[in-house]
Structures are given as structure tokens and as C-alpha cells.
Amino acid sequence: MNEIEKLSTKILKQALGSSAEFREAQLEAIESVFSKKKTLIVRKTGWGKSLVYFIATKINRYRNKGVTIVITPLLSLMQNQISQAKKYNLEIAHMCYKNKINHDTIIKRLIKNEIDVLFTTPESLFSALTKHLKNITIGMFVIDECHCITDWGHDFRLSYTQIKNVIKFSSLLSFPILCTTATANTRIIDDLKTQIGEDLYISRGPLFRDNIYIQPLEINKREQRYAWILDFCTKTKKLGIIFCLTTAECDSLAKFLSTNRINAESYHSHKGSEDIAQNILNKFINNNIQVLVSTIKLGMGFDMPNIYFVIHYNLPKNLLNYYQQVGRAARNIEKGYSIIIRGSNDISTLQYFVNNKFPSEENMKKVYNAIADEEIRTIESLLSRKNEKKGEVEKCIKYLYYEGFITSSSEHPRTYFRRVDRTFKYNKEHYDEITRLSNMELAELDKIYSGECINKIVLNSLDDYSIEKCGVCCNCNDKPYFTANIKPEYLLLANNFLNTDYMPLECKYECDYIPGCGNQYSHYNTTEGIILSKYGDEGIGGEVASCKHKNINFPAEVLDKAVNVLKIYFKKNDTSADIITCIPSLNNTLVDNFCERLSNALGIPFIKTIKKIKDTHQKSMYNKYYQKQNVVDSYQTIKDESKLLYNKRVLLVDDMVDSGYTLAILGLSLLENNKADKVIPLALADSSRKDAEDE
């Protein structure tokens, strides 16, 4: 037994118990860290990739080597790794945007070599740490979930592209590089070799997990999926994760389950703060939550031993993504289940993600040219001069920055910009090829429903051809583990919930930006309002989208939901409305017609108090500066009618809400100019894409 093997075995047993033994190839991977300068571990989920760098770190510290720096893509994954590292009695620190206040102290400790392992996101690595690397003794550099480096990977992150600079730095100081992932096919591995070096030693093993039992289901309607999931969670009473494509769906489904005595919470990037999200995750880790309804935020690397099931409420983005996410199940229990549900809108939603991954050439050029102006040095200054979407501008800035066409001051990375002496060239061929391959991967999802061995299909996408028939998917067993039958009592609960549930609409905006409004509006806030649906989603959202497209009146289902929701809302908030008014259009009377019917149903008078005087569309105004000005220019209150609003509670109705400025500014006008007592905004659908997915 050589020295590395002796030390590794001793550390393993101290950390995990005297009976602990290495899994296949773990010891060889640890030895490769010390014999090879660059190592790539491609092993199945739950294999124990983090064990390799924890034990290697411990050996390094015995030898008085420096800190191990671990790059990790997600804060949830970082917190999970930190808890695992404590088993090895390692001195841990972490750097991310959340603890910026501690960065200087951490850097001083790193320079003094007082930290064993530093976990950091790539963003924090380059904004805070890189300039100090020459003063830090580095023992090992770990790139966890390294498929994020390559834009052929399913979770590509722009910030990861800069890691190649640290890899160049490593060749000067001779510290080892360790890369880990469970999802790297041959194309991804070849690209990793290009970026990390052809001298990359690869530890690659079979990816098959024989304790996860897979069942695909086809349940098209939203209320049916809700009912089926409620039935399943009620029966199992075990811990599980449900993955959804959008944050809105996570919130809605978790609320439905909670309403029906399932201890469930939603988990995503828009929870209000990272502290709130972490508190939810901690409750789940401590078995105080039965079901976590999550976006892809929890899809990578999260290690919890007793997750019994993973349900995909929507299809995953591709088979590689699916393998990562289903790998959260049954990591230290005998068996777990994966249920993949396909709904009617899944492919169109996924296609939106694929086709909007890259900024357009036109937008990249606009932003690049705008930065030539000495007065434009921030995103805000650019938006105030250009009618462009903030999200699209931010995307352009990211690509221009990471592809080396612009730079920024070190004090304010990616905030204050200037062009570099390099001619802009749009990387069209590369972007088109990635989009083409992403669409091919999307088409591969159909294979899950082909009747073939599902594990074989998934593993083949990862270039693992080790099995012909897995024996643990329902197709191999020739019988389903679960049927798609929907119990009527659960379907009734789902219908009742979806017919009365709504999303809150907050009309809090910086109205001092609005020309002509004045400072008296800077603290304006209407009553929290109501959004009935997501535009284009199954159910009401789809009805609103279809009617808008065809210019036909909204059907009874939309009216019924509005009536149901308003009755509950009025009771909950101990209020009501005296008058209904609406935001009109010059092109149709859909909202007017809807408000007349709503008036008849609720017995509340409908009065037209606002008129549109300019045929411009808010959808063609892409940021707050132009959106606010457009509302001010396009609408007026009708003097004779608006007098009737004095001291009245007004229900202000619009068909769609995106930025929210139309409802906010016109609601403000009704309050301030027409002396309404209260304004309650109501939108039939939210057409924004801000909650589409976690990045």
C-alpha cells in the first residue's frame, strides 16, 4: 500500500466511519490528482465525486500545501458541499455575492494560508479573488459541474468561460486541476480537452443507476396533473422533489399541495432573497418539508440521502438535464422513483428557451455601437437612450464582455463599460450550431415515450452504451409502476383551486422617473392587485392568448374565474369595489366587453373613465423609461365620467400585464387626479417572461 492509499484510507474512515470503503475508482481518482496535473472525473450521480477532492485536500494539508479552491455553479450546491466538507474536519470558507461584506477578511485568511477549502462561484472568483491569486498558495483547483465550462453542455454558464485563465495560471505554479461532472458526452469531453488541455486524464465509468425506477406519464391538462400529483404525494408520504419549468408553476403547485395537507414549499431564484430560499432548503434537508417544488436551481449536485421520488411536472430541457435532476433520488436508500409527466405546452416552452438563448446579431451591434458613446457607461444610461429590453441588453453585455469586445473597470465589473480595440464580429455559425443541436436534443425527449428502455435512451445520449435493458424502467418490466388514472375527488380539488387561485400584482414603481409626474408620486403604491393567469399557459392563460390572437371575446371560463377570484379577494381583504373601469384599446373592444359582463355578474357599475389617444403598443416599448413615457402620452381620463370616481373604490381592469406601468400610472391618475378612494388592479394574464427559468 503506497503513501497516498494509506493516507486516503485513514481519512476516509475518520470521516465516514471505520467500516467505510472506497467505491470503484475513487482511490484511483485521488491518486490521479497527485500523479497527473489535470484530471476529469465523469461518474454517475451519487458516486461520490466530492469525496475525491475532500480527501485530496486533506492529504495536501498534511503536506503543508495550499488551499483547495472549488468553483461551483449554484449557491444551493455550495451550501450542500460545505455541510459535506465538515465531515472531514476541514476549515471551510465560501465567497459569493451574498457575503460580499466578508470577502476582504476571507482573502486575508487565504493569503495567510488559514483556509483548507474555499467554495466560490465563478462570478465571485473573477470579481473579487483573481487579482489576489498571486499572493495565495493554491494546493488544488476544482471545477465542479465542469460541463458548465463548455457551451455544448446542458447548463452552460458564460462566467465559466473565464476559468481558462486560471488554468493557464496553474501551469505556471504547478497545482493540480480536478474537474467533475456526471453529464459529459464525447462532444463535451472533447471541448473540455480543448479548454483545459489535451493532457487531461479522464476517469470515466458507467453512469447507470439501478435503484431509480422510471415511469413516464402523459397527462396533458394542468388540473389533471395537479390531481395526479396530489394523489401520489398523499399515498407515498415520503420525501420528494418536483421539477417545474417556471417559477410561477412552482409557486402554484406548492400552494395547491399545501392547501391539501401536503407539507410542500416552492424553491427557486425569485423567492425574495437567498436567505429565504436557503431557509426553505434547510427545512427540506432536515425532513421538515415533504415535497420541494423546484426549478433547475436544485437540479445539479444536491446531495440528500433519502429522497424517495423525483417528479418532472414538465419535460426536462433535454436528456442530459434529466439525468442530472433524477440523480437527486435514492442516493442512500434502496430504491427511488422517477416520474416524467408530459403536458401539452411543454415543447413550446422549451423551444422558447432554446431559440432565445443567444442575443440577436442586430441587438449585439446596437449595444456595441451604443457603448462607443462616452456618456453611455452603464446599462441604465443605455436604456434611457435606447428602446431596448433590459434583459436583452444585459444578455448582449454579457456576451460582449465574455467574448472580449468590451471591458469594464475592476471596481465595478460588468457595470462601467468601454470598448476594446477589437472589431466586433457576431459568432453566428457557432450560435446557430448550438441552437441546432439543442433542438435535436429537444426532439430526443420523444424517445422517452417510445416504449424502449428509458435508461438506455438517456445513457446513450451521454455516450454510455453499457446497458441494453436496464430492468428498472417500466418499459423493461412491461408494466407501469403507476397509472395515469385521475381520481374524481382529487380532480375536483384541483379544479376548485385553479378556478380561484391568482397571482398577486404589485404596482410599486419609481414614478419619479415619469416626465411631468413630479416627486409627489415617488412613494405611490396601489392596493395589491390580481393576475388571473400566465399568458399562454394551459387553462385561462391559453384562453386569453387565443382570444387576443383571434380578436374574439374572452369565454365564460375567464369570466367565471374573475368572478370567483374577486369574491374571495374582497372577502380576504375586507373590501369591495364601487365601480369597474378598464384600460381601453383603439384596436378592439375585448376588455370593454369583458368588463360589461363582469359588471352584470358582480352587480357593480362599469364606467369608461379612461380613453386612449395614441395608437402605440406598450409591448413595443422595451424598458421602463419608454414604457412609462408611453403610458403618459397615450391615455387620458374622461373628465365628465371620471368625476364619478370621487371617494370610490375602483376595480381597474386590463387584459395583460407585462411591465405593470400601465396599471400603475393610470391607477395613480385615478387616485391623485380623480380622488378615487382605492384602486384595485386586475389583469387577466401576465405576459412577462421574467419568471421563465433560473439562470
- Dihedral (C-alpha) 332, 337, 342, 348: value to the nearest 10 degrees? 0
- End residue of a domain, out of 465, 496, 527: 496
* 3-class secondary structure, 523: coil
C-alpha to C-alpha distance for 405 and 651, rounded to whole angstroms = 50
Residues 484, 563, single domain; the answer is: no
Question: Is residue 338 within 8 Å of 313, Cβ to Cβ?
Answer: no
- Whether 447 is in a domain gets the answer no
pLDDT at 578: 96
Q: Count the domains in the chain.
A: 4
Question: Is residue 147 within 8 Å of 196, Cβ to Cβ?
Answer: no
Residues 575, 632, single domain; the answer is: yes
DSSP conformation class of 473? B
- Identify the CATH number of the domain in which residue 580 sits: 3.40.50.2020
* 3-class secondary structure, 188: helix
Residues 457, 319, single domain; the answer is: yes
Residues 251, 289, single domain; the answer is: yes
- Burial state string for 167-185 with b = 16 or more CB within 10 A and e = fewer than 16: beebeeeebbbbbbbbbbb
Q: What nine digits make up the cell of 234? A: 398523499
Which of 453, 454, 215, 444 has the alpha carbon at shortest distance from 340?
A: 215
C-alpha to C-alpha distance for 560 and 600, rounded to whole angstroms = 12
pLDDT at 275: 77
541 versus 169: which is more confidently predicted? 541
Residues 676, 596, single domain; the answer is: yes
Sign of the dihedral through C-alpha 61, 62, 63, 64: positive
Segment of 117-131, 432-446, 501-515, 621-635 carrying the highest mean pLDDT: 432-446
pLDDT at 371: 85
pLDDT at 348: 85
- Whether 413 is in a domain gets the answer yes
- End residue of a domain, out of 430, 465, 488: 430
Question: Is residue 422 within 8 Å of 405, Cβ to Cβ?
Answer: yes
- Whether 546 is in a domain gets the answer yes
Rg (Cα) of the chain, in Å, rounded?
28
pLDDT 10s digits, 253-298: 999 999 999 999 999 887 766 778 889 999 999 999 999 999 987 8
Residue 559's CB is within 10 A of a number of other CB atoms, namely: 17
Residues in the chain: 695
Q: What nine digits make up the cell of 609? A: 373613465
Question: Is residue 494 within 8 Å of 229, Cβ to Cβ?
Answer: no
- End residue of a domain, out of 471, 496, 521: 496
Residues 199, 234, single domain; the answer is: no
228 versus 377: which is more confidently predicted? 228
> Order of strands across the sheet with 240-243?
212-218, 336-342, 309-312, 240-243, 291-294, 264-267
Question: Is residue 32 within 8 Å of 201, Cβ to Cβ?
Answer: yes
pLDDT at 408: 77
C-alpha to C-alpha distance for 95 and 127, rounded to whole angstroms = 10
Minimum mean pLDDT among 5-14, 77-86, 153-162, 604-613: which range? 153-162
pLDDT 10s digits, 461-517: 999 999 999 999 999 988 899 999 999 999 999 999 999 999 988 765 444 444 444
- Identify the CATH number of the domain in which residue 459 sits: 3.40.50.300
Inform me whether the pLDDT recorded for 158 exceeds 50: yes
Residues 192, 68, single domain; the answer is: yes
pLDDT, average across residues 70-99:
86
Give me the helix-helix angle, 3-16 and 26-35, nearest 10°: 130
Q: Which residue segment(s) compose the domain that 307 sits in? A: 212-345+452-496
- Whether 437 is in a domain gets the answer no
C-alpha to C-alpha distance for 494 and 531, rounded to whole angstroms = 19
DSSP for 545-581 reads HHHHHHT----HHHHHHHHHHHHHHHHHTT---SEEE
Inform me whether the pLDDT recorded for 518 exceeds 70: no
pLDDT, average across residues 346-371:
90
Inform me whether the pLDDT recorded for 105 exceeds 90: yes
pLDDT at 414: 55
pLDDT, average across residues 228-238:
96
- Dihedral (C-alpha) 480, 484, 490, 492: value to the nearest 10 degrees? -170
> Order of strands across the sheet with 579-582?
503-505, 529-531, 678-686, 649-657, 579-582
Q: How many helices (H) and strands (E) does the chain have?
A: 26, 22
Residues 106, 183, single domain; the answer is: yes
Residues 188, 257, single domain; the answer is: no
Phi, psi angle pair for 531, to nearest 5°: -120, 125
Question: Strand 38-42 relative to strand 177-181: parallel, antiparallel, unpaired?
Answer: parallel
pLDDT, average across residues 438-452:
93
pLDDT, average across residues 685-692:
71
Residues 384, 503, single domain; the answer is: no
Question: Is residue 400 within 8 Å of 406, Cβ to Cβ?
Answer: yes
- Whether 440 is in a domain gets the answer no
- Whether 72 is in a domain gets the answer yes
Which of 589, 577, 695 has the alpha carbon at shortest distance from 645?
A: 577
pLDDT, average across residues 516-535:
63
- Whether 528 is in a domain gets the answer yes
Question: Is residue 341 within 8 Å of 217, Cβ to Cβ?
Answer: yes
419 versus 682: which is more confidently predicted? 682
pLDDT, average across residues 428-451:
93
Which of 335, 253, 358, 341 has the alpha carbon at shortest distance from 295?
A: 253
pLDDT at 413: 47
C-alpha to C-alpha distance for 201 and 216, rounded to whole angstroms = 37
- Whether 151 is in a domain gets the answer yes
Residues whose CB falls within 8 Å of the CB of residue 499, separated by 6 or more in sequence, listed in order: 560, 561, 564
Residues 186, 282, single domain; the answer is: no
pLDDT, average across residues 97-118:
91
Residues 259, 405, single domain; the answer is: no
Minimum mean pLDDT among 5-19, 153-167, 176-190, 534-548: which range? 153-167
- Mean pLDDT (the chain) is 88
Which of 478, 443, 471 has the alpha carbon at shortest distance from 456?
A: 471
pLDDT at 689: 63
Inform me whether the pLDDT recorded for 632 exceeds 60: yes
Place of cell 471596481: 411
179 versus 171: which is more confidently predicted? 179
Residue 60's CB is within 10 A of a number of other CB atoms, namely: 22
Q: Provide the pLDDT confidence category of residue 520 given band limits of 50, 70 and 90.
A: very low
